Amino acid sequence: MLKLRGCALARPAAYDRTMTSSFYAIIPAGGAGTRLWPLSRATRPKFLLDLDGSGRSLLQRTWDRLIEVTDPSRIFVVTGQDHADAVRAQLPELGDDRVLAEPAPRDSMPAIGWAASVIARLDPDAIIGSFAADQIIDDSPAFAEAVRQARIAAEADYVCTIGVSPSGPSTAFGYIESGDNLGLAPAPEARAVVRFAEKPDATTAAAFLATGRHSWNAGMFVSKASVLIGHLRRLHPDLAASLESWADEPERLDATWARLPAIAIDHAIAEPVAAEGGIATVPATFAWNDIGDFGALADLSSGANVESVVLDGSAFISSTTGRPVTVIGLEDAIVVDTGDALLVTTRAHAQRVKQATEAWREKGRADLL
Amino acid sequence: MLKLRGCALARPAAYDRTMTSSFYAIIPAGGAGTRLWPLSRATRPKFLLDLDGSGRSLLQRTWDRLIEVTDPSRIFVVTGQDHADAVRAQLPELGDDRVLAEPAPRDSMPAIGWAASVIARLDPDAIIGSFAADQIIDDSPAFAEAVRQARIAAEADYVCTIGVSPSGPSTAFGYIESGDNLGLAPAPEARAVVRFAEKPDATTAAAFLATGRHSWNAGMFVSKASVLIGHLRRLHPDLAASLESWADEPERLDATWARLPAIAIDHAIAEPVAAEGGIATVPATFAWNDIGDFGALADLSSGANVESVVLDGSAFISSTTGRPVTVIGLEDAIVVDTGDALLVTTRAHAQRVKQATEAWREKGRADLL
Digit-coded pLDDT (tens) for B191-244: 999 999 999 999 999 999 999 999 999 999 999 999 999 999 999 999 999 998
Closest alpha carbon to A180 in A164, A162, A188, A192 = A192
Model pLDDT, residue B303: 62
In a mutational test of the B interface, the residue from A293, A307, A321, A328 whose CB has the highest number of chain B CBs within 10 Å is: A328
Separation of alpha carbons B307 and B298, rounded Å: 17
- Decide if A194 contacts A274 (C-beta within 8 A): yes
Mean pLDDT to the nearest integer, B293-311: 86
**Which one of B329, B346, B348 has the shortest CB-CB distance to A348?**
B329
Nearest to B311 among A307, A325, A356 (CB): A356
Q: Summarize the confidence of residues B152-163 as an average pLDDT.
A: 97
* Predicted local distance difference test score (pLDDT) of residue A248: 77
Whole-number pLDDT of residue B53: 80
Count how many domains chain A has: 2
How many inter-chain contacts (A to B, CB under 8 Å) are there? 125
Lowest mean pLDDT among A54-58, A253-257, B19-23, B286-290: B19-23
Chain B residues whose CB is inside 8 A of the A346 CB are: 328-330
With CA atoms as reference, report the closest residue to B76 among B121, B31, B114. Answer: B114
| Domain annotation covers residue B4 | no
pLDDT at B130 over 70: yes
Is residue B1 in a domain? no
Q: What is the pLDDT of residue B1?
A: 30
Is B9 among the domain residues?
A: no
Q: Is A81 inside a domain boundary?
A: yes
Q: What is the ipTM of this complex?
A: 0.85
Residue B19 burial by CB count (10 A; 0-12/13-18/19+): exposed, middle or buried?
A: middle
Burial class of residue B346, CB neighbours in 10 A (0-12, 13-18, 19+) = buried
Backbone angles phi, psi at A176, to 5 degrees: -115, 125
* Burial of A366 (C-beta count, 10 Å sphere; 0-12/13-18/19+): exposed
Examine the domain organization and report whether B81 and B58 are in the same domain.
yes
Tell me what pLDDT residue B139 has.
87
Give phi and psi for A237, each to the nearest 5. Answer: -60, -35
In a domain, A251, yes or no: yes
Cβ pair A352:B329 closer than 8 A: yes
Whole-number Å distance between alpha carbons of A238 and A339: 45
Percent of chain B exceeding pLDDT 70 equals: 94
Here the CATH number for the domain that contains residue A124 is 3.90.550.10
DSSP letter for each residue of A72-125: GGGEEEEEEGGGHHHHHHH-TTS-GGGEEEESS---HHHHHHHHHHHHHHH-TT
Statement to judge: residues A142 and A45 lie in one domain: yes
- B122 and B188: one domain? yes
Secondary structure E strands in B98-139: 99-102, 127-130, 136-137
Specify the pTM: 0.85
Domain membership flag for residue A7: no
pLDDT tier for residue B248 given thresholds of 50, 70 and 90: confident
- Which residues in chain A have Cβ-Cβ distances shorter than 8 Å to B329? 345-346, 348-349, 352
Closest C-alpha among B232, B231, B24 to residue B131: B24
**8 Å CB contact of A324 and B309:** no
Query: How confident is the model at residue A285, as a pLDDT?
Result: 87
- Is the pLDDT score of B14 beyond 50? no
What's the pLDDT score for residue A302? 65
Average pLDDT over residues B259-286: 94
Mutate to test the interface with B, among A307, A326, A354 (most CBs of B within 10 A): A326
The mean predicted confidence, pLDDT, of chain B is 91
Beta-carbon separation of A324 and B355 below 8 A: no
CA–CA dist B111, B127 (Å, integer): 16
Last residue of a domain, one of A290, A308, A335: A290
Same domain, yes or no: B317 and B288 = no
d(CA B12, CA B30): 29
Residues B247 and B307 in one domain: no
CA–CA distance, B352 with A312 (Å, rounded to integer): 9
Mean pLDDT across the stretch B297-322? 88
Domain match, A134 and A158 both? yes
* Chain B residues touching chain A at CB-CB below 8 Å: 38, 307, 309, 311-312, 315, 323-330, 333, 335, 337, 339-346, 348-349, 352-353, 355-356, 359-360, 363, 365, 368
> Which of B292, B327, B354 delimits the end of a domain?
B292
pLDDT digits (tens, 9 = 90+) for B77-91: 999 999 999 999 999
Closest in A328, A339, A359 to B352, CB measured: A328
Mutate to test the interface with B, among A39, A323, A361, A362 (most CBs of B within 10 A): A323
Q: Which of B345, B353, B360 to mutate to test the interface with A (most CBs of A within 10 A)?
A: B345
- Quote the pLDDT of residue B18: 60
Residue A305: per-residue pLDDT = 79
Instruction: From B320, B326, B341, B321, select the one nearest B53 (Cα to Cα).
Output: B320
Three-state SS sequence of A16-79: HCCCCCCEEEEEEECCCCHHHCCCCECCECHHHCCCCCCCCCHHHHHHHHHCCCCCHHHEEEEE
Spatial distance between the Cα atoms of B229 and B247, rounded to a whole number of angstroms: 13
Distance from CA of A37 to the nearest CA of B (A): 10
Q: Give contacts of A311 with chain B, Cβ < 8 Å.
A: 349, 352, 355-356, 359
Max CA separation in chain A (angstroms): 65
Over range B346-357, report the average pLDDT. Answer: 95
Q: For B104-117, b where at least 16 C-beta lie within 10 A, e where not — what string?
A: eebbbbbbbbbbbb
Mean pLDDT of the B174-178 span: 97
Contact B352 A38 (CB under 8 A): no
Cα three-residue angle B92-B96-B100, rounded to 5 degrees:
115
Q: Residues of B with CB below 8 A from A344's CB?
A: 315, 325-328, 330, 333, 335, 344
Q: Are residues B155 and B205 in the same domain?
A: yes
Tell me, what's the pLDDT at A17?
A: 52
Q: Which of B229, B259, B292 is the endpoint of a domain?
A: B292
Among the partner residues A324, A330, A360, nearest to B365 by beta-carbon distance: A324
A69 and A144 Cβ atoms separated by less than 8 Å: yes
Would strands B159-164 and B214-224 be described as parallel, antiparallel, or unpaired? antiparallel
Is A8 within a domain?
Answer: no
State whether A227 and A349 are in the same domain. Answer: no
Nearest residue of A to residue B330, measured between CA atoms:
A345
Interchain contact, A360 vs B312, CB within 8 Å: no
Indicate whether A280 and A183 sit together in one domain. Answer: yes
Which residues of chain A have a pLDDT value below 50?
1-14, 16
Least Cα separation, residue B342 to chain A (angstroms): 5
B61 lies in the same domain as B142: yes
- State yes or no: pLDDT of B5 exceeds 50: no
**Same domain, yes or no, for A229 and A102?**
yes
Q: Taking residues B270-284, what's their average pLDDT?
A: 96
Residue B2 lies in a domain: no
**Same domain for B83 and B151?**
yes
> What band does B254 get if pLDDT is binned at 50, 70 and 90?
confident
DSSP 8-state symbol, B350: G
In this structure, are residues B61 and B313 in contact, taking their beta carbons and an 8 Å threshold?
no
The residue range of the domain holding A304 is: 295-368
- For an interface test with A, give the residue of B342, B358, B365 to mutate (most A CBs within 10 A): B342
Chain A residues with beta carbon closer than 8 angstroms to that of B339: 323
Distance between CA atoms of residues B164 and B161, nearest Å = 10
- Test B356 with A38 for CB contact under 8 angstroms: no
